Structure formats: structure tokens, C-alpha cells
Structure 1
Amino acid sequence: MQQPREQHPTPDKDEIALLDPFERLDLDRITLVSTGAQAREACAALTDHAVWGFDTESKPTFVKDQVSDGPHIVQLATLERAWVFQLQDPACLIQVAGLLADGRHTKAGFGLGDDTRRIVSKLAVEPAGVLELNTVFRARGYRKDMGVKGAVAVLFNRRFIKSKKAATSNWANPRLTEAQLIYAANDAWAAARVHEALGLD
């Protein structure tokens, strides 16, 4: 008789709070991309890498039944740096759509179902090569959705810091703050780090 797969406990909020902070990308390794020309440069850099950490941000909705017109930014990261793409410029949006539709590159992240639906609606492409990292953890015996905080705690024994203020900020603003850039870039970069640590290559 086959033995049931071993279940691993997911660390809770209190346990994670005791850990030392996880390192982060600072502004010198984050590129803001808002024009078609900048997007072409970013594409050229990203296509050298097989795996990208992936996330999106949308302006929050605070009214019942209000539908978000996000995503307003898309984040892609390698192990060395991250690019934060703003989607106001149609030329930039087209470049991002091309990157997301390219199935030759793995796009790894957490909780990507909603991100994917919004991308299909706004960018009119189905993201290809998307890897939901929660699924990987579930296959390895973790029952709960891991999320980036839980994954960083399990794999690195560190606490991933997320600013609630940045999370609920206006991502549609044409001028993103430094705090927004750091928040957005590190979500994608942490996913790239988690993917590497899982040995999925």
C-alpha cells in the first residue's frame, strides 16, 4: 500500500516574524520601464535568461462591484535585477505582451491566477510558460498556499518584508514612488530566488 505523502507544516505569521529579514533589491538593481524604447532594452536583457520571477500590481478598488482595469504594472526579474513595466504607453504595453506570450521563458510567481486573468483582459494575450510556485510546494507536501513570505521562510529561514502601505497604493500613478518600485521589484525577484532554491531548472 502506498504511503501518504509526508505533509510539511507551513510557518505561521508569528514564527516568520521572529526571523531575520530577507535581503532585497535596492534601486540600483531596479529598472523602471515606461516607454517603448526602454521596453525594447529590457526585452533584450530579459531574453538572455530562461526563468523570470513574475508578478503584477493593480490599482486597488475600494467600491463594491468595482472592476479593476489593471494590471497597471508588470514586474519581471532575473536573479540579478528586476524591471518594473508601466503600461500607460501603448508601445510599452505591446512589448510586455510579447514577453508574456513567449513560452520559451518560465514566468514563476505566487497567486498568479488573478494576474493571468487580468493580463488576458487588458493585454489580449494568454501568458505562456507560467509556473505557479504554490503548486510546486503543494506537490512537495505543503498543504496550505505558501505565498512568497512562507516560501522565503521555508527555503531561506528569512522574513520577507512587504509594505502594506505600498501594496494598497495607487499603481496607476504615472510617477511611482521609490517605495512602490522596491515593493514591486522585490515581489518578482523573490519569486526568481525561490524558483532557483527549489532546484527546478
Structure 2
Amino acid sequence: MNARLPTPDKDAIALLPPFERLNLDRIHLVSTGEQARQAQAQLATARAWGFDTESKPTFRVGEASDGPHILQLSTSERAWVFQLHDPECRAVAAELLARPGIVKAGFGLGDDRKRIVQKLGIEPEGILELNTVFHQRGYRKDMGVKGAVAVLFNQRFIKSKKAATSNWANERLTEAQLVYAANDAYAAIRVWQALGLAD
């Protein structure tokens, strides 16, 4: 495809109706081994997951992150937010990410992949960078979740800056953090489906 398709700018996106996000009743916090095994059983039936991670921000020069602290996996129905400080949760998360035959779709995953290799000691399988799909289809600018939701659904994906830069290493995550984290992964699986990649 030779035509370079435009992506909507911030001002145009701001005028769109909001994207319908997952609420807390469809978001599962996974912080124990038992919860992780339950999540694993439910996730195993899907062909693809929306995927993202969060790490505690680093603010000092030269400070290295020991993230990711959170792993988010989502189907089109519900999302699971894994806290990786628990060894059993970490082990299940590693097994899920290393599992072949299931697509893990998301945006800006290069950094996530490197950190997962470092922290979990596995090479994730089936990672799909959705930005690459948009490039292949003729979009000239890098496509993040906001641009993708605007293009495919004509809706505005709301992201909280406060939640984005919050402490993801906290043992007790806030409701705002859970909603933020889960919906990054949820939007990714919805985009994957809308691109026709499930067919």
C-alpha cells in the first residue's frame, strides 16, 4: 500500500466520544498463587490476549528500574492485573508469557519485552506489536493506543497521567491504578480484534 494514511491529532481525538472501558467488576487483581492459577485457567481458553506491563517510575538520573511490577492480560470480556512481587504470581506470569500459540498484543512492547526477560527469566512467545500492523497498513505515524482507538472506533481512549506515573510497586494498588492498567490491555485486545487479526 503506497498511500500514507493520516492519524488523528490530539485536538481531533479530544472531540470524540469516550471509549467504553472495563469497570472494576470485570477487572481481577491477582496477588496470590491461588488467584494466579485461577486466572491462568480462565486465560488459557483464549486465542489472544491484550498485553502490557507497568513499572514503578524512576526519577533519578542513572536509577535503574527493577520492573515490571505489574503484568496486565486481557480478553475482550475481562482483564487480570498480576502483581509480580509474589513468587507464585511471578511463576504463573512467566508461564503464561512463555506459552506458545497465544498472541500477546499490545503497543510499545520493546521495553516491556526486555524487562520481562530480565525479571522473569523467560523469552515471551507470540508478542505482537500492534504499531507494526498499522505501519504495514499504511499509517505513517507511530500508533499508540489513543490513536488506534480513534482510528478504529472513532472514540477517545482516556488515560490518567496521575495513574501512569504512580508507584506500581505498591502492595496495595488503588482503584485508579487497576482501571488504568487493565484498560491498556483491554484496549489492545479490542484493537487486535478490530484489525481483523482474529480471522
How far the C-alpha of 1:103 sits from its partner, in A, is: 1.5
Once the two structures are TM-superposed, the CA of residue 53 in structure 1 deviates from its matched residue by: 0.1
For 1:50, the equivalent position in structure 2 comes to: 47
Q: Please name the residue that 2:134 is paired with.
A: 137
Counterpart of 2:144 in structure 1 is: 147
Describe the superposition over 1:85-123 as per-residue Cα deviations: whole angstroms up to 9, x where unpaired: 000110110000000001111000000000000000000
C-alpha deviations, 1:117-165, integer Å up to 9, x for none?
0000000001100000000000000011110000000000000000000
Partners of 2:158 and 2:6 in 1: how far apart?
A: 21
What is the letter of the counterpart of residue 167 of structure 2? N
Q: In structure 2, how many angstroms separate the alpha carbons of the residues matched to 1:10 and 1:64?
A: 34
Structure 1 residue ranges, 4+ long, deviating more than 4 angstroms after superposition: none
- Give the superposition deviation at 1:69: 0.3
Matches of 1:163 and 1:89, distance apart in 2:
26
The CA deviation at 1:70 is: 0.2
* Distance in 2 (alpha carbons) for counterparts of 1:14 and 1:126: 39
Mapped to 1, the partners of 2:8 and 2:26 lie a distance apart of 30
For residue 165 of structure 2, what is the aligned residue in structure 1? 168
Name the structure 1 match of 2:179: 182
User: Which residue of the partner structure matches residue 25 of structure 1?
Assistant: 22
* 1:147 maps to amino acid: G
Report the Cα distance in structure 2 between the residues aligned to 1:110 and 1:128, rounded to whole angstroms.
Answer: 16
- Unaligned 5+ segments in structure 2 are none
**Residues 58-69 of structure 1 aligned to structure 2 (within 5 Å):** 58-69=55-66
Aligned length: 198
* SS of residue in 2 equivalent to 1:32: strand
Q: Percentage identity across aligned positions? A: 72
In the aligned structure 2, how far is the partner of 1:103 from the partner of 1:19?
A: 37
Aligned equivalents of 1:75, 1:12: Cα separation in 2: 27
Tell me, in whole angstroms, the C-alpha distance in 1 between the residues paired with 2:193 and 2:163.
26
Residue identity in the other structure for 1:10: T
Residue 101 (str. 1) matches residue 134 (str. 2): no
What secondary structure, in the 3-state scheme, does the structure 2 residue paired with 1:60 have? coil
Q: Given the two structures, how large is their TM-score scaled by the length of structure 2?
A: 0.99
Superposed CA RMSD in Å reads 0.6
TM-score normalized with structure 1 length: 0.98
Unaligned runs of 5+ in 1: none
